[in-house]
Amino acid sequence: MPDAAAILETRGLTMDYRDFRALEGADLRVQEGTIHAIIGPNGAGKTTLFNLLSGLLSPTRGRILFAGQDITGHPPYRIARLGIARSFQITSVFPHLTLLDNVRLALQAGTRHGYAFWRSDRVLDQFTDEAMQILASVGLDRLAGRPAAALPYGQKRALEIGLTLALRPRLLLLDEPTAGLSLEDAARIMEPIRQVARNRTIVLVEHNMGVVAALSQRITVLTRGRVLAEGTYAELRTRRDVIEAYLGGAA
């Protein structure tokens, strides 16, 4: 395992918000084809890490390598086009567009139908079937014609994941996909994620230790912006410092 190729690697990644250091010298190696969990208490810097990886923030110091290529400071759209897609902890969809149009936008993103202002938007009908399949995979196909704003919270979370899956990325960054969901809704959302995990790489921020233990091959523990430990669930569950920092409450 340690010899396998890292699809994602960070070196000394540091992020300062004005005078507050949210991430400090984070080194991370994510092996291709694994589910790699990032855990840590509130404010540990998990979302900040994702914002750096997806290009929404530029690091104060450090580098990010994806598939051997340095992507530090690349704009978000270029990172997305290279094959890194993310979901948001705070649901981020297109509220006044229908679910179908939400997903079709994600599908359209990978094509050359972007700047064609002289063509009819009927050319986007070619994405309808695929969009419906994706909506079905997250249990939303029956609501395809509804505007996203009309959905209850749990289904908005499902759409959030659907948008990310629709990009068919090599690497998925999922920021607390089950945040605020009932056990039942959480299981429903994790199922399509489990499906795509078969031939993709996932970095998963998750507070639910049951989900982390069941899904992930490796876990990185973040506290106060630093990497505290890395290993398998079996290795970490017995470490005192990890338990004190985080698992204490859950284990």
Partner 1 sequence: MARRIGWAALLAAGLLLPMRVYPVLAADILAWALFATAFDIMLGYTGLLSFGQAAFFGGGAYTAGLLTQRLGVPYPLNALAAALAAGLLALPLMGLAIRRRGIYLAMITLAFGQMVFYVVNEWRSLTGGENGVQGIPRPALGGVDISSSTAYYYAAFPLAVLGLLLCWRIVRSPFGRVLLAIRENDVRTETLGYAVHRYKLLAAVLSCALSGLAGGIWVINHGFVALDAVHWTTSGLVVIMVLLGGMGTRLGPLVGAALVLLLRDFISTWTDAWGVVTGTIFILVILIFRQGIVGTIERLLEARTRPAPAPAPAVEEVASPHRS
Ligand X SMILES: Nc1ncnc2c1ncn2[C@@H]1O[C@H](COP(=O)(O)OP(=O)(O)OP(=O)(O)O)[C@@H](O)[C@H]1O
Cβ neighbors of 182 (< 8 A, separation 6 or more) are: 154
Residue 183, token pair as written in the block: 């056990």
Instruction: Report 73-92 residues binding Mg ion (CB under 5 A).
Output: 89
Position 59, amino acid: P
Q: Which long-range contacts (CB under 8 A, 24 or more apart) does 179-184 make?
A: 179/89, 179/207, 180/153, 181/153, 181/154, 181/157, 182/154
Which CB, 2 or 145, lies closer to partner 1?
A: 145
Instruction: Compute how many other C-beta atoms are within 10 angstroms of the C-beta atom of residue 73.
Output: 12
Sheet containing 69-70: order of strands: 20-31, 6-17, 61-66, 69-70
Which CB, 92 or 182, lies closer to partner 1?
A: 92
Q: Residue from 46, 74, 86, 104 that binds ligand X (CB under 6 A)?
A: 46
Cβ neighbors of 115 (< 8 A, separation 6 or more) are: none
User: What minimum distance in Å lies between the beta carbon of 228 and partner 1?
Assistant: 28
Which CB, 46 or 104, lies closer to ligand X?
A: 46
Residue 251 site contact among partner 1, Mg ion, ligand X, none (CB < 5 to 8 Å, cut-off depends on kind): none
CA distance 39 to 29: 15
Residue 165 site contact among partner 1, ligand X, Mg ion, none (CB < 5 to 8 Å, cut-off depends on kind): none
Where does the chain show beta strands of DSSP type E? 6-17, 20-31, 35-39, 61-66, 69-70, 84-86, 171-175, 201-205, 218-223, 226-231
Which CB, 48 or 201, lies closer to Mg ion?
A: 48
Residue 22 site contact among Mg ion, ligand X, partner 1, none (CB < 5 to 8 Å, cut-off depends on kind): ligand X
In DSSP terms, which residues pair with 221 in a beta bridge?
39, 229
Radius of gyration of the chain, Cα coordinates, nearest whole angstrom: 18
Q: Residue from 43, 95, 210, 248 that binds ligand X (CB under 6 A)?
A: 43
Q: Residue from 7, 8, 28, 44 that binds ligand X (CB under 6 A)?
A: 44
Which CB, 36 or 46, lies closer to Mg ion?
A: 46
In DSSP terms, which residues pair with 172 in a beta bridge?
85, 202
Residue 4 site contact among partner 1, Mg ion, ligand X, none (CB < 5 to 8 Å, cut-off depends on kind): none
Tell me the window of 40-48, 68-76, 148-156, 194-202 that interacts with ligand X (CB under 6 A): 40-48
Which CB, 51 or 201, lies closer to ligand X?
A: 51
- Give the per-residue contact string, 84-113, with ligand X (x = CB under 6 A; - = no): -----x------------------------
User: What minimum distance in Å lies between the beta carbon of 133 and partner 1?
Assistant: 18
Nearest C-alpha neighbor of 130 from the set 146, 110, 158, 156: 110
Could you list the residues that contact ligand X (CB under 6 A)? Answer: 17, 20, 22, 40, 42-48, 89
Could you list the residues that contact Mg ion (CB under 5 A)? Answer: 46-47, 89
